[in-house]
Amino acid sequence: MSIANLSHLTVRYGRRTAISDLTAEIPDGCVGLLGPNGAGKTTLLKTLLGFVKPSGGSATVLGLDANREGIKIRQRIGLMPELDCHIPRMNAVTFVAYAGELAGMPARHAMRRAHEVLEYCGLGEARYRDVETYSTGMKQRIKLAQALVHGPRLLLLDEPTNGLDPSGRREMLGLVRDISHGKNVHVIVSSHLLPDIEETCDSVIVLRGGQVAQQGEMQALRAGDVLQIDVELAAPSAAFLEAVQKRGGIVVQQLGTRVTLSLPAGTANPARFLFEVARDSAAQVRGFHPATRSLEDVVMGSMNA
* Residues 75-90, mean pLDDT to the nearest whole number: 92
* Residues 206-233, mean pLDDT to the nearest whole number: 71
Q: How far is CA 299 from CA 174, 198, 216, 287, 305, in A?
A: 24, 12, 12, 29, 10
* Residues 180-196, mean pLDDT to the nearest whole number: 90
Q: What is the pLDDT of residue 222?
A: 61
Whether the pLDDT of residue 224 is over 60: the answer is: no
Whether the pLDDT of residue 2 is over 60: the answer is: yes
Q: Output 288 or 252, whichever has higher pLDDT.
A: 288
Whether the pLDDT of residue 299 is over 50: the answer is: yes
Q: What whole-number percentage of the chain has pLDDT above 90?
A: 57
Banded model confidence at residue 217, pLDDT cuts 50, 70, 90: confident
Q: What is the pLDDT of residue 226?
A: 47
Pairwise CA distance, residues 145 & 80, whole Å: 9
* Residues 25-49, mean pLDDT to the nearest whole number: 91
CATH number of 224-304: 3.30.70
Pairwise CA distance, residues 43 & 54, whole Å: 10
Q: What whole-number percentage of the chain has pLDDT above 70?
A: 88
Pairwise CA distance, residues 34 & 50, whole Å: 21
Q: Is 49 exposed, middle or buried (0-12, 13-18, 19+ CB in 10 A)?
A: middle
Q: Output 250 or 111, whichever has higher pLDDT.
A: 111
> Which value, in Å, is the radius of gyration of the alpha carbons in the chain?
24
State the CB neighbour count (10 A cutoff) for residue 141. 27
Lowest mean pLDDT among 74-83, 132-141, 199-208, 216-225: 216-225
Q: What is the pLDDT of residue 236?
A: 46
* Residues 30-42, mean pLDDT to the nearest whole number: 88
Pairwise CA distance, residues 245 & 11, whole Å: 48
Q: What is the pLDDT of residue 225?
A: 47
Alpha helices (runs of H) in the chain, residue ranges in sequence order: 41-48, 70-76, 92-102, 107-120, 136-148, 166-182, 194-200, 218-222, 237-246, 270-281, 295-304
Do domains 2-209 and 224-304 share one topology? The answer is no
Pairwise CA distance, residues 35 & 37, whole Å: 7
Lowest mean pLDDT among 61-65, 148-152, 212-216, 250-254: 250-254
Q: What is the pLDDT of residue 3?
A: 94
Q: What is the pLDDT of residue 100?
A: 96
* Residues 110-139, mean pLDDT to the nearest whole number: 96
| Mean pLDDT computed over every residue of the chain | 87
pLDDT tens for 255-264 read: 777 777 777 7
Q: How far is CA 255 from CA 66, 234, 239, 259, in A?
A: 52, 16, 16, 6
Rounded-to-10 torsion of CA 191, 174, 74, 185? 120
- Parse the chain into domains and list their residue ranges: 2-209, 224-304
Range picked from 20-29, 207-216, 296-305 for highest mean pLDDT: 20-29
Q: What is the pLDDT of residue 143?
A: 97
Taken in order 101, 104, 107, 108, the sign of the CA dihedral is negative
Banded model confidence at residue 279, pLDDT cuts 50, 70, 90: confident
* Residues 191-217, mean pLDDT to the nearest whole number: 87
CB 203 within 8 A of CB 189: no
pTM above 0.85, yes or no: no
CATH number of 2-209: 3.40.50.300
Q: Output 238 or 302, whichever has higher pLDDT.
A: 238
